[in-house]
């Protein structure tokens, strides 16, 4: 079975963010680091080459494939911020309806810039996702 390519690395978050070319994306990324650190109670860690993750959990699929992944995280991608935070907790849809301009793809919440969303709602979304995932993977 193939090894999971996305795992915690020794690269520093600051060295990664220094290389984010878009100034707005870099500034928004530093804000997201603070919000996610508060929500998770954990320091940021690089996962793979482009994901900034917080805390971790172990997963195991019925197929036998297993590994570790960040509990919540994000990646500043070209033209958007991809947040790995949609865990399916009760009330998630109501928060997303109040969030502001965003797109959803699987467990990813895509935001062009943080000024497009309500940060108070985003904070609540992050905290609820952490609580839900910690219960699910306890």
pLDDT tens digits along 65-95: 888 899 999 999 999 999 999 999 999 999 9
**CATH code at 13-136:** 3.90.1150.200
Does the pTM surpass 0.85? The reply is yes
pLDDT tens digits along 7-50: 899 999 999 999 999 999 999 999 999 999 999 999 999 999 99
SS (H, E, C) the chain: CCCCCCCECCCCHHHHHHCCCCHHHHHHHHHHHHHHHHHHCCCEEEECCCEEEEEEEEEECCCCCEEEEEEEEEEEECCEEEEECCCCCCCHHHHHHHHECCEEECCEEEECCHHHECHHHHHHHHHHHHHHHHHHCC
């Amino acid at each position: 079975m193939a090894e999971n390519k996305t795992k915690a690395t020794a690269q520093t978050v600051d060295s990664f963010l220094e290389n984010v070319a878009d100034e707005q994306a870099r500034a928004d990324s530093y804000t997201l680091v603070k919000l996610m650190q508060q929500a998770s109670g954990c320091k940021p860690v690089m996962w793979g080459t482009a994901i900034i993750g917080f805390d971790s959990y172990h997963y195991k699929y019925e197929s036998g494939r297993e590994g570790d992944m960040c509990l919540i995280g994000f990646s500043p991608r070209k033209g958007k911020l991809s947040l790995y935070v949609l865990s399916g907790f009760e009330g998630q849809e109501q928060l997303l309806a109040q969030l502001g301009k965003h797109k959803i793809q699987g467990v990813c919440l895509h935001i062009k810039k943080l000024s497009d969303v309500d940060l108070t709602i985003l904070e609540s979304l992050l905290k609820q996702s952490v609580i839900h995932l910690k219960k699910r993977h306890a």
